[in-house]
A and B are shown apart, each in its own frame.
Chain A
Amino acid sequence: MPFITVENLEYAYPAHEDGGEAFTALRGVSLSVEEGEFVAVLGHNGSGKSTLARCLNATLTPTAGRVSVGGLDASDEANTFEIRRLVGMVFQNPDNQIVASVVEEDVAFAPENLGVPPPEIRRRVDAALRTVGMYEYREHAPHLLSGGQKQRVAIAGVLAMAPRCIVFDEPTAMLDPRGREDVIGIIRKLRDENGVTIVLITHHMDETLGCDRVYVMNGGKIEVSGTPSEVFTQVERLRSIGIDAPETVSLLYGLRLAGVDVPLSALTPDECAAAVADAYGKRVSPADSAD
């Protein structure tokens, strides 16, 4: 049984008191996330991906359909707390999710809320800060850190809760390239070394490299889904909903249009380079490229 199951999920933001109209953000979304999987959700602004994220940890209650996390029904309020413990959330703006004015106090916030005994909190905080490489900064004030460092503190804050899954809602949207690289590196490390299930919501194609499954959202529905090579090779379909294929696939697609026989499924820069070299008959043997 998958860790997270979403069936025909619909969500409508209620009409605003001052005259704003009700807005349906999700129109029948179904997906599943297996334990230990790295799932990417792509979509341009307003496609409903952030709403979907908020339904996964019971921040929003579905208007219709069903979300279940680890066998618990997210519509049942009695499960809200347990679901939030199982599924951590990292948000876009690092400034607005840091609660305390000292790094380690902030990381301790979630376990303190859970009523974990103090020595265990200390242990979790230190371990979480080491995982994200911010242990040396444990006594710093968060507002003096860079954006990428703040986001790493936010990740540690969620990790200290010991969740089984972490949902990242565009965690790199406000970071510089360096900070983005750090954060994406940590996300991969969490999956590979700590076995945490990852749901990454983003509109940066290159951040999804190495994930197990991709869902592309458009207008509150899942438009395309499958493994990265299944999804990203549908270049025209992706373009029609305003999403660019990864640079590697775009290059291969261009070459194919120009009449060069290359496969579209070479996603990483290395695979892509090999595919292009193959097509031009100048493949360098691995032994030669080693030095």
Chain B
Amino acid sequence: MLRDITLGQYFPGNTIVHRLDPRTKLALTVCYMVALFAARTWSGYAFMLAVLISAVAASRINGKTLLKSLKPILFIIIFTVVLNVFFTAGDDVLAHFWIFKITKQGLVGAAQMMLRLTMLIAGTFLLTYTTSPLALTDGIESILKPLAKIHFPAHVLAMMMSIALRFIPTLIEETDKIMSAQKARGADFESGGLVKRAKALLPILVPLFVSAFRRADELAEAMESRCYRGGEGRTRMKTLVMRPRDWVALAAGAAVISAVYALFRRLP
């Protein structure tokens, strides 16, 4: 049952979006977010939606898959919308009961917030859908590298992330084994209320932690045996290279931000 969980949610492909350098994609995602929050007019949102749709189309990611990924955060979106509808101050009161007032400004604000959040999340999901976790880690390490000068542990952070990614499937497999072993001895994980089920998980966590610590110990020993001594003096087999297409993509990102600032900043 645990085996079905997909992690990282990476859909391999060979489109231009997939082939971009992970650093470029991280930078573009930031550009996209800035532009999205800078846009203030309906035409601005339409423009950003067009940007998103063309990026999705270029990546050949199924639009339905992208929409499905919004499901887990539907609650947050609804919550923000409700909050915006009822608690936005304004003069154009449409309805009024008890302490609540629904204003025109509130409705407009709520609709815009909903669009913003949906597009924000869809955009960031596009990043993880088209970039392998490994490439993403490499990209983050490379971006954070200059911070090593102020003693920011960029390499350590990236190494931790990649080891975590490496051991997720191993630990899931182990959890499965422990659960089977305990089911075989009569443990019940499926019935009872939330509290009872949570309590039933405790006997799984203890052996899982013990084994994870043992694994960590052995891995550390194996890494040291293979001459690991931190990021200093380390080379990489595959170095990230910025190609012309990356610079073009970055220029496009900058163009989107400038367009939004120039055309769609007028407050409603």
Contact = CB atoms under 8 A, between A and B. Distances in A.
Interface residues of B, number: 28
A99 B235 contact: no
Interface in B137-192: 162-163, 165-166, 169-170, 173
A96 interface: yes
B219 A97 contact: yes
Contacts of A200: none
B163 A110 contact: no
Contacts of B226: 84, 88, 99, 109-110, 113, 157-158, 161
A96 B170 CA distance: 10
A143 interface: yes
Contact of A125 (B133, B215, B237): B237
A117 B222 contact: no
Nearest to B238: A118
A81 to B, nearest CB: 6
A141 B169 contact: yes
Contact of B134 (A91, A97, A105, A111): A105
Given A98-B166, A101-B165, A117-B235, A81 B219 contact: no
Contacts of A118: 235-239
A176 interface: no
Interface in A79-115: 81, 84-85, 88-89, 91, 93, 95-102, 104-105, 108-115
A99 B166 contact: yes
B218 A93 contact: yes
A115 B235 CA distance: 5
B266 interface: no
Nearest to A97: B222
Nearest to A142: B166
A181 to B, nearest CB: 24
A109 B166 CA distance: 14
A142 B236 CA distance: 19
B234 A115 contact: yes
A237 interface: no
Nearest to B173: A143
Nearest to A60: B221
B228 A96 contact: no
A59 B166 contact: no
B71 interface: no
Interface in A20-66: 54, 57, 59
Interface string A270-288: 0000000000000000000
A121 B235 CA distance: 9
Given A95-B215, A143-B173, A101 B166 contact: yes
A135 to B, nearest CB: 15
A163 B239 CA distance: 25
25 contacts: A57-B225, A84-B224, A84-B226, A89-B225, A91-B221, A96-B219, A97-B219, A99-B163, A99-B166, A100-B162, A101-B162, A101-B166, A104-B237, A105-B237, A110-B226, A112-B237, A115-B234, A116-B235, A118-B235, A118-B237, A118-B238, A142-B166, A143-B169, A158-B225, A161-B226
Interface of A: 54, 57, 59, 81, 84-85, 88-89, 91, 93, 95-102, 104-105, 108-118, 121-122, 125, 141-143, 157-158, 161
| Nearest 7 CB-CB pairings of A with B | A97-B222, A96-B218, A108-B237, A110-B226, A89-B225, A121-B237, A143-B169
Interface of B: 133-134, 162-163, 165-166, 169-170, 173, 215, 218-219, 221-229, 233-239
